[in-house]
Amino acid sequence: MEKIPVGILGATGAVGQKFILLLSDHPWFEIRELAASQRSSGKRYQDAVNWIQERPIPEAIREMMVKDCEPNLEGKMVFSGLDSSVAGEVEEAFAQAGYWVFSNAKNHRMDSDVPLVIVELNPEHLNMIPHQQKNRGWEGAIITNANCSATVLALSIGPLHKMFGLETVHVVTLQALSGAGYPGVASLDILGNVIPFISGEEEKIESETQKILGALDNHQFSPAPFTVSAHANRVPVEEGHLECVSVKLKQKAGPEEVTRCWQEFKGSEHELNLPSAPQQPVVVVSEEDRPQPRRDVWKYEGMSALVGRVRPCPLFDIKYVVLGHNTIRGAAGASLLNAELVLKKGMLSGLSAPAG
């Protein structure tokens, strides 16, 4: 069975490395192209990259030559882990040249014709793509996934919004260092410390969750009508964003009903059986002191949101904590799911998901 050739833009970065790990044994895709900045292009991948993963660089990737981010790569699909200083223009150039770009960068997430997708929550937002292509005169397309903290939050509040309706969401994040890329925050700033500011993060959490859980009607996204207030903090944790959330519901529900809602939640894409989709998008853990980043972040291959400490909230209705893997579910894994969904839905002409 022939696999579909794909490329990775920003292949040397923290997210790019996760793409390499997730795509290396993928049943449908095969990495044929790696691209990054001029600092890296023309070098063998193993010489260009500062590899920060525990697993070694896959054998087939080590000797591959890194190229420039020019839209002349093999295949029709590219995954982007590009720095936001360049992602905007580069991704547009690729889409214009006919590539389908699955992007992690913030640049196009809030564009009025670009879907911001979490496959379990808003797969119907992909219906914007033909309009985007017509609008921009593109044969390709840009599909984005959300900011890492917004993804973790949306996965947990999404099922509640669908079942009970949300009025207000308050979230305090404790975000891992890997969310800042490499080398990220200086060690002297973060060791034994918490930094109560991450530039632009609170705004992204607030607006992106509303776009994801909002409606698409007549080629227009309208934000979900609940209020979100976010506090973002950087903490000395390697991987995994922990978020303390309080929600006010339209239709009142107690901890047991809310827990059942998460346990029974299956995304509408569930029956499509995407290879990277977790069995259970939201897993409720029962121990009173879990989930914890170091102990739990790799559970379910880092693709589920782990919810714990579900209890009544004296200010709103319910409070809980949620943990998600920021560079897997919050970045590369989310893009990969979007690409799998696009293929499975047959949206990319001439390409289809391999059978089996």
Chain residues binding ligand NAP by CB under 6 A are 10-16, 36-37, 39-40, 69, 81-84, 86-87, 104-106, 147-148, 178-179, 181-182, 326-327, 330-331
Tell me whether residue 170 is one of the annotated catalytic residues.
no
- Rounded to the nearest whole angstrom, what is the least distance from the CB of residue 104 to ligand NAP in the complex? 4
**Residue closest to ligand NAP, measured at CB:** 13
The residue behind tokens 């972040």 is: 297
Q: How far, in whole angstroms, is CA 265 from its chain's centroid? A: 19
166-175/241-249 β-pairing: antiparallel
Q: How far, in whole angstroms, is CA 276 from its chain's centroid? A: 13
Tell me whether residue 69 is one of the annotated catalytic residues.
no
Could you tell me which residues come within 8 angstroms of residue 162 by beta carbon, excluding any fewer than 6 positions away?
Answer: none
- Rounded to the nearest whole angstrom, what is the least distance from the CB of residue 239 to ligand NAP in the complex? 9
- Rounded to the nearest whole angstrom, what is the least distance from the CB of residue 84 to ligand NAP in the complex? 4
Of 148, 161, 170, 325, the catalytic one is 148
Q: In this complex, which beta carbon is closest to ligand NAP, that of residue 259 or of residue 338? A: 338
At residue 41, the 3 state secondary structure works out as coil
Q: Is 41 in contact with 303 (CB distance < 8 Å)?
A: no
C-alpha–C-alpha distance, residues 4 and 334, integer Å: 18
- Rounded to the nearest whole angstrom, what is the least distance from the CB of residue 14 to ligand NAP in the complex? 4
Closest CA to 276 of 239, 240, 302, 295: 302
Element (H, E) at 109: none
- Rounded to the nearest whole angstrom, what is the least distance from the CB of residue 40 to ligand NAP in the complex? 3
Q: Is 333 in contact with 276 (CB distance < 8 Å)?
A: yes
Element (H, E) at 334: helix 333-344
Q: Is 306 in contact with 286 (CB distance < 8 Å)?
A: no
Q: Is 160 in contact with 258 (CB distance < 8 Å)?
A: yes
Residues forming the active site = 148, 241
